Structure 1
Amino acid sequence: MTTSDTSGRLDEAFERLHISGPEFRGWLSNHAPMVVESLAVHGQAGAVHRWLDLYSDRLEEFPTPVERVTDANWHEALGDPRRAADWIDHFTRAVAERPWRAVLAEWWPRLLPGLYGAATHPVIRVGHAVRALRTEETGPRLTELAHALGYWAARHHPVTGVETLPGAGTPGRSLDTVPPVETAETGFLGRLAAVRALPRWADDVTDPDTARARLVELVRAATHRYATHGHGEETMLVHAATAPNAVLRTLDALPRELWAPSLHAAWTASAAVTAMYAPDEPVDYVPPARLTAEEVVERALAHGDEHVIKLTDTALDVGDERALAAALRAVELSDPLV
């Protein structure tokens, strides 16, 4: 269930949002660009501005520039959140001067090792921006890609030193073998630093088409798993599904030689989030009703929480009843946007 927004509301929303920064309250991610794109894709463009009005207290002013990012100094600016405005300016210039696919192909392998920064929100934002551009190339959508890539560069955060454990044949069974972290830390980066070991899965895949197929499997498994494990942390566990789905959405805009590395990074991100927030035990979950995809979207919109809407968006990509059940589980577990 996807539609093309011909009303112009998505571009209006992007223009409205691009005077705001990528974060608020010091480190929380601005989810609005991702949500409005999701709503527009699923036939809810008419609700975009109403939802933004509810979310507007989380929009903060665009950050202050520090120093221009150049070909000579970008390495030192990578991963510096103080440089968010500089990075966004860099990519705004880049997509104005060159085709956006060329910019993406150049920077994707540079940014991919830092997929985990800002709780994977930057790569998720990139995935939404790419989907919007693949539907229609407009100025606001190009600017949105620049903001998304700039946010990723500013929050770039690699993960190293993680031991590899035996995995299983499927992504679902491999996620079941992920050892939970043991830490008193509550923040994302503190918990991420406590991830010591993750099971291998699909690490021998090198063929691009096989990588795509495995990524589809991973997104499906992680989405299904939310229905039975989302109570471990109803917000953060959403990203075990939405982060790899953002990578999947971007594949067709990338050179094929980048597909297998993208799969491997997506698996590590999904497994790491699983390790950080897994509940002690799963629960059986039966949704309260069998609803159509359109009805699930309407429930997510009525609830309003940004993570609920984004998981619903991914669930609709997966497209089966278990995925829709996961979206309804997120509605039940999460606090509504008021």
Structure 2
Amino acid sequence: MRRVRTTPLALAALPRTVLLCAVLLLLGALASCGWGGPDGDDDGHAPGAPAGVTAAAGSATSVHVMWDAVTADPAVGTYEIYRGATKVREVPGTEHMVDVVRLRPSTLYAFTVRARDTDGRLGPRSREVRARTPVAGAADHSAPTRPGGAQGRAIGSRAAQLSWNASTDDQGVVSYDIYQGGAKIHSVGGAQTATVVTGLRPSTRYAFTVRARDAADHLSAASAVVALTTASGSDDGSGTAPTDFRATTHKGDDGAYYIDLSWVPPRTDGVVTEYQIRLDGQPATSLVWGGTAPRGRATYSFYAGGDAGVGHRVRLRARLPDGTWGGFSAERTVTTGDSGP
């Protein structure tokens, strides 16, 4: 949009009717640029696009969609879930997962998520994720067997690790549903028999159960109750920290030095898409994956200056799918010009 610069003196010389028209045209131009649109969008204040969006079939007629919590000011009031261009669900801002039901078997679906803040501003769509529902089993009238061997342990003050033995089903298990008390809080694929639940409160007792689901949407009986108590809030969060953290340096073609990092993401229910890197005790940069975030070893390099022989301390932490920060990795010390071990 072309910008026109007008001085206050020039405005004062305009006739009143011309000035009114100019103001109306300016307001119209601002609206066309996305300022105060009818949908509540405001580029300066609307929530960002949800990251970490995943979709997995829960049965032949349902898909489980999950995303990372969005941090916004004012806070997110609701999340809107879209199948293609159609809004199919809306959930409170405290939730970041949903089951989209009444789908067709053996069909590929595409989903996106948008956040709306408590002032009504609607943020942009997340990246699109796809999931295919499995074929419905013919004449499947039996539910999967009850998951056995359920057990778990607290990981610090805000997470818990759960595991169970695989269920059996005449048509195959498609997913496992995890319940906290009587509320379903997550689903994982039928080939998965362990998960990490985050977003818990310190010094709190929890009770979890697991149920298996087949393609015909039959649910098994609940597993034995896994009862555990999270640690107090004074722990260092090491259970949710990136592991096997390494740091070296190299000299780039531009003559400057760069710090090279590699690590294994923390185990969480969902994909970690954002990290905070601290250099010499201060936040240095944020790393956000715009595409597919790595589930295995991740790598990243960043600028460290033009001088050799400078020592730095570096570590990082992950933003967990529930929107909270996990624990920091171990701290590593590097020196520019020294490739390290």
- Name the one with the larger strand percent: 2
Kindly indicate which of the two structures has a greater share of residues assigned to helix: 1
**Which of structures 1 and 2 has the larger relative contact order (alpha carbons within 8 angstroms, sep 6+)?**
1
Fold shared, TM-score > 0.5 on shorter chain? no
Q: TM-score, normalised to structure 2's length?
A: 0.30
